[in-house]
Homo-oligomer: A and B are copies of this chain.
Amino acid sequence: MVSEPTTPVVALLENNNIPLHAADDQETAIAAFKKYDVTILPVVDSKERLVGVLTVDDVLDLAEKEATEDMQKLGGVEALGGPYLKIDLAMMIKKRAPWLVILFLSEMLTTTAMGFFEKEIAKAVVLALFLPLIISSGGNSGSQATTLIIRAMAIGEVTLRDWWRVMRREVFAGLALGCVLGAIGFARISAWSLFSHVYGPHWPLIGLTIFFSLIGVVLWGTLAGSMLPFVLRRVGVDPATSSAPFVATLVDVTGLIIYFTIAMVVLKGTLL
A160 in contact (CB, < 8 A): no
Find out whether the CB atom of B115 lies under 8 angstroms from the CB atom of A75.
no
A103 in contact (CB, < 8 A): yes
Find out whether the CB atom of A131 lies under 8 angstroms from the CB atom of B128.
yes
A228 in contact (CB, < 8 A): no
- Digitize A3-33: 1 where CB-to-B-CB distance is under 8 Å, 0 elsewhere: 0000000000000000000000000001001
Find out whether the CB atom of A245 lies under 8 angstroms from the CB atom of B139.
yes
Find out whether the CB atom of B128 lies under 8 angstroms from the CB atom of A166.
no
Find out whether the CB atom of A38 lies under 8 angstroms from the CB atom of B63.
no
Closest chain-B Cβ to A95's Cβ sits at a distance in Å of 9
- Which chain B residue lies CB-closest to A36? B57
Find out whether the CB atom of B74 lies under 8 angstroms from the CB atom of A144.
no
Number of interface residues of A (CB under 8 A): 94
Find out whether the CB atom of A104 lies under 8 angstroms from the CB atom of B181.
yes
Within 8 A of B (CB), among A103-147: 103-105, 107-108, 110-111, 114-115, 118, 121-122, 125, 128-133, 135-137, 139-141, 143-144, 146-147
| Interface positions of A (Cβ within 8 A of B) | 30, 33-34, 37-40, 55-57, 59-61, 63-64, 67-68, 70-72, 74-77, 80, 83-85, 89, 92-93, 96-97, 99-101, 103-105, 107-108, 110-111, 114-115, 118, 121-122, 125, 128-133, 135-137, 139-141, 143-144, 146-152, 155, 157-158, 162, 165-166, 169, 172-173, 176-177, 180-181, 184-185, 188, 198, 218, 244-245, 248-249, 252, 256
